[in-house]
Chains A and B, each alone.
Chain A
Amino acid sequence: MRSPDRVESMRATGVRRRVASSALTWVLVLGVVRITVLLPENCPPVDSATIRAAVDEAVAWFDRNQAPDGTWLYRYDRGTDEVGPGYNTVRHAGVTMSLYQAARAGIPGALDIADRGTAYAVDNLVRHEGWAAFEPSSSRVTSGAAALLVAGLVERRTLTGDERHDELLADLSEFLVSLVEDDGAVLASWDREREAPDTGVYSPFFTGEVLWALALMDQEFPHGGWGAPARRIGHYLATERDDAEGYWPDVPDHWAAYGFAVLASSAGPDSDPLSDPEMEYLRRQAGFGGVQARYESQRVDTTPRWWLRGRRTLGAGLGTVGEQLGGLWVVSSADSRLSDLAPALADRSECVAGMLVDRQVDGDEAAGFGAPAAVRGAWFQFDVTQMDDQQHAMSALLLTLAMLDEGGGR
């Protein structure tokens, strides 16, 4: 038979073990959670000056890497010092648009560089039955290229007041409207050989681009009849697109964010506010942007973090996240139904801007490569940059800059 002291001693040992086991469980659980889920979100601090400096560098990249015909260096591998083949018409229009955004933000030189890009587009128009589109080579004339050209030229008109491209804007917009179906779906392209739209062919991005272009046209030319098709596209995007076109999960659509930002900002006595389903769609979209920004901010290109989160994304990938968040922030500040998201959207936008500034190649780093002119001011992944990396990163930075200038920062 055990003595009372012996029993008490065994009890005390058992209690100590139980407490130690509990403490160990806390340490293990919190430790594992910290190194798997709760990885630090690295959001380098930014302010207007650092963002403006990064945009200056990006604009300078486009200046240095523009050919006499107005096109830009499309793809460059700094590891092998080789220029990649190919060119992309939609991205040409996108870069041109982004440079007009920079010009509107007062970035020196951006307007002239963008105008040279527009000159290339004007030299390569496709005209048919009263409309115009932009396609220099292939038979596939896309709605996306025309839409981004429209967006850029509207930005230019707003900045300069110059009406020289008004007729072209109307012709390009006629092309876009010709591809909008009754339910608001947007066909991706028109076949030059058949001289007919490519029925049943859609793009995850062109629909939002066309929404944006027509919304801008409606804002700039309120009596042009561009608002109705824009509204139709907006409703379709919010209520049908992802199901009808087979996207799961939903497409995180930065172009739609631009478009809805224009619609929300235009809402007033003479125009309708966004519908509740559209607000629900934008709320979901904000979630997609938020999680992408948070996930990306946890990425580091060294092991073991690399195993857990993968490599850092492209400049274009991070830029589109920033564009989406920035566009949605505009909606949140224009429509009270989304205003509860404004602080978080501002937070994530600044985080993306901080990452972009941090990841842009500076002059010192560029000097170590074969063609510093093609490296400085750019964003790389696997030693490769494409012109749309600079485009989307720059547009995202400009949206954050505008947000900060409006006092929307953290």
Chain B
Amino acid sequence: MTVSGWPVVFAVVAVVNPPRLAPALPGRGRPLRERLEPTVLGGIAASVVLIALAAAGEAVADLLSVSAPTLRVAAGLVVLLGAARDVLGGPPAAEPALSGRRAALVPVAVPFVLRPDLGLLVVSAGADGRVGLTVGAVVVAVATLVGAGAIAGSDEGGGRQMWAWAAACLHGVAVLSGVTLAVSGVLSV
């Protein structure tokens, strides 16, 4: 069974889950530029790591002596479990965080974006030869995160309920993507 690229794109965006993170992003209530800077910088830093992982996907598969479909099964299962953990664990906390620009590293890059389920997902996509698609998906996810952060951090940034609903929808997408990836991995040659 081959799997199109869409589950990978959906899974990357759903695992990052910008609406879930938006209320916890740094700089809430500050001017737009100040507010976005850590998210943009953190998003870029995390993207570089994720793209490097995707590019190294085939090498990682060789190093572990596993095939790309088996890696896809693992990624699908971990995405599924990650979504379950996020649902049960509730929204992430804004603190503790580094101050100022350094908040790009903690909490934006770590632990918000650079999560093991996302890491395994992009490695798997890279091993499947979908590096370009993964780059696109990561860019979309980070751009959405920045946009969500811009809205959530403003004074009229929407109620927590709205973000919770949007986050729940993306949890659902993550579950579906995880199942799709795992099943396609099992049924692949």
| Residues in chain A within 8 A of chain B (CB atoms) | 11, 13-15, 17-19, 21-22, 25-26, 29-30, 33-34, 37-42, 283-284, 286-291, 294, 325, 340-341, 344-345, 347-348
Residues on B with C-beta less than 8 A from A340 are 2
CB-based contact B116/A25 at 8 Å: yes
Q: How far is the CA of A14 from the CA of B70 in the complex (A)?
A: 37
Residue B88 lies at the interface, judged by CB distance under 8 Å to chain A: no
Q: How far is the CA of A289 from the CA of B69 in the complex (A)?
A: 13
CB-based contact A40/B65 at 8 Å: yes
CB-based contact A41/B66 at 8 Å: yes
Residue B56 lies at the interface, judged by CB distance under 8 Å to chain A: no
The CB with the most chain A CB atoms within 10 A, among B107, B116, B117, B188, is that of: B116
Instruction: State how many residues of chain B have any CB contact under 8 Å with chain A.
Output: 32
Q: How far is the CA of A11 from the CA of B106 in the complex (A)?
A: 11
| Residues in chain B within 8 A of chain A (CB atoms) | 1-2, 64-67, 69-71, 73-74, 77-78, 95-99, 106-107, 110-111, 114-117, 119-120, 186-189
CB-based contact A291/B111 at 8 Å: no
CB-based contact B65/A41 at 8 Å: yes
Min Cβ gap B138→A in Å is 18
Known: A11-B99, A42-B65. A18 touches B107 (CB 8 A): yes
Min Cβ gap A177→B in Å is 34
* Besides A22-B114, A29-B116, A40-B65, 14 new A-B residue pairs in contact (Cβ under 8 A), listed by A number: A19-B111, A21-B111, A25-B111, A30-B120, A33-B78, A33-B120, A39-B66, A40-B66, A41-B65, A41-B67, A42-B65, A284-B187, A291-B186, A294-B69
CB-based contact A37/B187 at 8 Å: no
Known: A291-B188, A341-B189. A15 touches B116 (CB 8 A): no
Residues on B with C-beta less than 8 A from A341 are 189
Cross-chain pairs A/B with CB under 8 angstroms, 17 sampled: A13-B96, A14-B95, A15-B98, A18-B96, A19-B106, A19-B111, A22-B114, A29-B117, A37-B73, A39-B66, A41-B67, A42-B65, A284-B187, A291-B69, A294-B70, A344-B189, A348-B189
Q: How far is the CA of A396 from the CA of B120 in the complex (A)?
A: 34
Residues on A with C-beta less than 8 A from B97 are 11, 15
CB-based contact B74/A38 at 8 Å: yes
Main SS class of interface, A: helix
CB-based contact A294/B96 at 8 Å: no
Residues on A with C-beta less than 8 A from B73 are 37
Q: How far is the CA of A66 from the CA of B71 in the complex (A)?
A: 46
Q: Which 9 A-B pairs have the closest CB atoms?
A: A14-B96, A290-B189, A22-B111, A287-B187, A344-B189, A40-B65, A29-B116, A37-B74, A26-B116
Query: Which A residue sits closest to B77, measured CB to CB?
Result: A37
Known: A37-B77, A287-B1, A287-B189. A17 touches B66 (CB 8 A): no
Q: How far is the CA of A104 from the CA of B116 in the complex (A)?
A: 52
Residues on B with C-beta less than 8 A from A347 are 67
CB-based contact B74/A345 at 8 Å: no
CB-based contact B64/A38 at 8 Å: yes
Min Cβ gap B99→A in Å is 7
Query: Which A residue sits closest to B73, measured CB to CB?
Result: A37
Partner of A345, one of B111, B114, B189: B189
Min Cβ gap B58→A in Å is 13
Q: How far is the CA of A21 from the CA of B66 in the complex (A)?
A: 28
Residues on B with C-beta less than 8 A from A39 are 66
Known: A33-B120, A290-B189, A291-B188. A17 touches B96 (CB 8 A): yes
Residues on A with C-beta less than 8 A from B120 are 29-30, 33
Q: How far is the CA of A284 from the CA of B183 in the complex (A)?
A: 12
CB-based contact A33/B110 at 8 Å: no
CB-based contact B106/A18 at 8 Å: yes
Residues on B with C-beta less than 8 A from A284 are 1, 187
Q: How far is the CA of A287 from the CA of B187 in the complex (A)?
A: 5
Known: A37-B70, A38-B74, A41-B67. A26 touches B119 (CB 8 A): yes
Min Cβ gap A22→B in Å is 4
Residues on B with C-beta less than 8 A from A17 are 96
Q: How far is the CA of A235 from the CA of B78 in the complex (A)?
A: 39
Q: How far is the CA of A26 from the CA of B44 in the complex (A)?
A: 20
The CB with the most chain A CB atoms within 10 A, among B70, B106, B189, is that of: B189
Query: Which B residue sits closest to A344, measured CB to CB?
Result: B189
Min Cβ gap A296→B in Å is 12
